[in-house]
Structure 1
Amino acid sequence: MSFKQHFFHLSTAAAVLFNLTFPSQMVWSAPPNSADVQSFIPAKWKILEKVQGDLNADGLTDLALIIESTDPKNIVANENLGSNQLNTNPRQLLVLLKKSKGYQLASSNSSLPTEGDVESPCLEDPMGEGETLSIQKGLLKISFHYWLSCGSWYVTNTSYTFRYQNQKFKLIGFDSDDFHRASGDITERSINFLTGKVKKTSGANEFAESTLPEKVEWSKLKNKYSINLEQIKFNEHIEFE
């Protein structure tokens, strides 16, 4: 069973999409510093998304980019359910801090989900709906939207929140919500890695109004986590405990 198939067979269980041991490696050797943003983007790659904001509280406008290869060899035929062709070109997240004479590459991650997935061809592009990147109050948030056109009734949204500290982007929050397209049931889970608290909310329904209050459960993580952006594999999964 592929990661995506496993992920969407989970209902209220929280699937956290990364590996904690091995950092994701860069697809190419990007320059550590450059006056030109384009210098960080290799030939035959394109920018999918770009957001701006101050990430290190120095008053300068930093950048977060998602780029994608345009290699036609990675457009593959699909004989199963789903689209006739699948774009499996790799994607890369780049975080650039503004300096007085250009930009500095502060972090990168090459484990973003691709538009198409050979093992789960019914899975729609996790980055195809809404904004994947946002910068608010100095925090970098990366969000994904998962749903399959066949094989599962569930729609799952996940978001990861990072804060720049000690020269690293540390994961401080994870949020997910599961929506069942048939029943309308909604389950939400929010993790605060600074406090170790976990909030689970259930009882809401997309299709029906309820006179009963939503059920909120609080718990505590058994383990402590200290995870940098470079370490995360968004196309893997692990359950936080």
Structure 2
Amino acid sequence: MLSFFLSIFADESNTIYDMKQVSKITICLLCMAMALTGCRDKVRSKADTADPQAAVSQSMKRISKVEKQGDMHQYDVADKQRITDFIPKGYKLFEKISGDLNKDGLEDCVLIIKATRKNGFERDYEGKLIDRNRRGIIVLFSEEKGYKVAVKNYNCFSSENEDGGNYFSPELGVIIKDSKLYLHYYHGRYGYWEYCFRYQNSDFMLIGYEASHDRGPVVLFKTSINFLTGVEYDDENINAYKFNADSDDDSEIDEVFKRTVVKLKKKPLMKLSEIEDFDELRFE
């Protein structure tokens, strides 16, 4: 009987021991779970703190970029409005060229304008409607707060769509170099001519003229005029008759020029503002 109770007591002792072990393990697991939960909460807390800051930072960057783009757009619009304010009614902007024209280190502005008159349109020989409206020029000098008009001439250039006959019409190019204004007419295989103006006495004065009369790659005749000195140089290619207009190879023939110097009559310098039609300019 005693042995029976002892065996029962031993079994209960083992059971109690096992339960204690289980309790210890359970407590350890609970502690580990609480520790992991705490770490996770800290990580979430840091993430929650960092994300709003990053979001705010990114948002500020986006806002700053948008505001900057908006400011640049407003500047561009203001600049465009400031220039177009000088274009008279009945005209539109055809071309804009920038450069220093009065040696003050600021970017001045040359506007080529074009009339928009309805009666300036006509039909060509093919029946196409062509814009024959004439063009003009406005020179603006830069100032601290904008521009001021230096010279204006609204109708001195013919249309870019003039009939060139068997060839295209001359193309007007505007060049600013060494504070001088060059009006250059390109005429492809037939050569070019160019007018040089310099600002003085409150206008742009015609001080030089250059022209080259060509036949393809061959220069037939060249002219250079200095209106300040009143001297004209005419260079004639005396071998021009040797070149074959139908040949693609005239490399063995040299261009030899004979120069003639002409003294021009003394006249006041021409003003850009007073030239009525560049196509009708003649120099004697």
TM norm. shorter chain > 0.5: yes
Structure 2 match to 1:89: 133
Partners in 2 of 1:61 and 1:47 — Cα distance? 18
Aligned-residue RMSD, C-alpha: 3.0
Matched letter for residue 221 of structure 1: L
Kindly indicate whether residue 86 of structure 2 is the aligned counterpart of residue 40 of structure 1. yes
For 1:202, the aligned partner's letter is E
Label 1:84 to 1:186 Cα distance change in 2 as closer, same or farther (>3 A).
farther
Residue aligning to 2:38: none
Tell me which amino acid in the other structure corresponds to 2:250.
A
Distance in 1 between the 2:215 and 2:194 partners?
19
Instruction: Give the letter for the 2:258 counterpart.
Output: K
Shift of 1:105: 0.9
Find the counterpart in structure 1 of residue 156 from structure 2. Answer: 111
Is the 8 Å Cα contact of residues 113 and 126 (structure 1) preserved in structure 2? Answer: no
Kept in 2, the 8 Å contact 1:116–1:123? The answer is: no
Whichever structure has more helix as a proportion of its residues is 2
- Point out the structure with max Rg over C-alpha: 2
Distance 1:35 1:228 in 2: 28
Q: Which residue does 1:217 correspond to in 2?
A: 260
Distance 1:70 1:124 in 2: 22
Superposition deviation, residue 171 in structure 1 = 0.7
Q: Say if 1:35 and 1:103, in contact at 8 Å, map to a contact too.
A: no
Alignment correspondent of 2:250: 208
* Cα offset, 1:146, TM superposition: 4.4
Matched position secondary structure for 1:223:
coil
Superposition TM-score, scaled by structure 1 size: 0.69
Look up the match of 1:188. Answer: 222
Paired letter, 1:226: L
- Change in CA separation of 1:57 and 1:175 when aligned onto 2, cut-off 3 Å: same
Of 128, 136, 154, 2:177 maps to 136
Q: 1:123 to 1:115 in 2, by over 3 A?
A: farther
The 5 Å alignment of 1:23-38 reads 36-38=82-84
Per-residue deviation at 1:111?
Answer: 1.3
More strand by share: 1
1:226 aligned to which of 228, 247, 269: 269
Equivalent residues of 1:68, 1:92 under 8 A apart = yes
How many angstroms apart in 2 are the aligned matches of 1:58 and 1:212? 42
Partner of 1:5: none
Q: TM-score, normalised by structure 2?
A: 0.59
- Name the CA distance, whole Å, in 2 between partners of 1:222 and 1:185: 28
Cα gap change, 1:135/1:178 in structure 2, threshold over 3 Å: closer, same or farther? same
Q: Is the Cα contact below 8 Å between 2:136 and 2:156 reproduced in 1?
A: yes
User: Per-residue displacement from partner, 1:126-163 (whole Å, max 9, x unpaired)?
Assistant: 336xxx1111010001112347xxxxxx8252111111
Q: Are 1:69 and 2:103 an aligned pair?
A: no
Consecutive unaligned residues in structure 1, runs of 5 or more: 1-33, 148-153
Deviations 1:1-31 (A, max 9, x none): xxxxxxxxxxxxxxxxxxxxxxxxxxxxxxx
2:142: which partner in 1?
A: 98
Hey, what does 2:192 align to over in structure 1?
A: 157
1:127 is aligned to 2:171: yes
For residues 43 and 237 of structure 1, the distance between their equivalents in structure 2, rounded to whole angstroms, comes to 26
- The higher relative CO (CA closer than 8 Å, separation ≥ 6) is in 1
**Cα shift at 1:125:** 3.7
Counterpart AA for 1:208: D
1:112 CA displacement: 0.5
Matches of 1:115 and 1:123 in 2, distance apart? Answer: 13
**Tell me, which stretches of 5 or more residues in structure 2 are unaligned?**
1-79, 244-248
How far apart are residue 213 of structure 1 and its match?
3.3
